[in-house]
């Protein structure tokens, strides 16, 4: 029996999160806060991938999610990413969570949560009644390596 279209495969989630972690490593190598993001369409193709670029672009909005969203819009040819899943190493901030909801992504998967500024855990953007789209969410996928890369980065900076 084939899995339903709504079947969530944790092995696939980890596979894509490893790709997001590779993007985070690129950010760390560039002295950016090491966050990485991958956007995968319903056919399993990467339509967006990025890491934080706020320092190199001198742009406070150049978070990994925002850059990957722009790539995905161009790749899909639409501002709606309804069959896509976004993988990011740290829970999206409120800005990114708002953009994700507006883009109508199907799912959002993150590694480590953000207990101070998490767009979902603190501000509840993905489930807020004022939003017209509520993506499925899954936190904690490869949380330990997602946290480790952040801790290593900030330890080196101190």
Identify the active-site residue in 65, 91, 120, 136: 65
For residues 135-150, one letter each, b for 16 or more C-beta atoms within 10 angstroms of the residue's C-beta and e for the rest, the string is bebbbebbbeebeebb
Give the Cα separation of 107 and 136 in Å (integer): 5
Give the Cα separation of 58 and 75 in Å (integer): 25
List beta partners, residue 48: 39
- If one counts every other C-beta atom within 10 angstroms of the C-beta of residue 114, the result is 16
Residue 65 bears catalytic tag: yes
Distance of CA 134 to the CA centre of its chain: 15
Q: Which residues are catalytic?
A: 65
């Amino acid at each position: 029996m084939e899995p339903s279209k709504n079947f969530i495969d944790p092995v696939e989630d980890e596979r894509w999160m490893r790709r997001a972690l590779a993007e985070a490593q690129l950010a760390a190598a560039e002295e950016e806060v090491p966050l990485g993001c991958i956007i995968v369409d319903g056919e399993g193709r990467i339509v967006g991938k990025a890491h934080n670029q706020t320092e190199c672009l001198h742009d406070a909005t150049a978070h990994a999610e925002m850059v990957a969203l722009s790539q995905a819009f161009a790749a899909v040819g639409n501002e709606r990413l309804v069959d896509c899943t976004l993988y990011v190493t740290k829970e999206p901030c409120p800005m990114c969570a708002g953009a994700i909801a507006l883009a109508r992504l199907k799912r959002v998967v993150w590694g480590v949560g953000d207990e101070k500024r998490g767009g979902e855990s603190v501000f509840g953007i993905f489930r807020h009644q004022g939003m017209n789209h509520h993506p499925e969410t899954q936190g904690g996928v490869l949380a330990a390596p997602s946290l480790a890369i952040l801790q290593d980065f900030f330890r080196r900076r101190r």
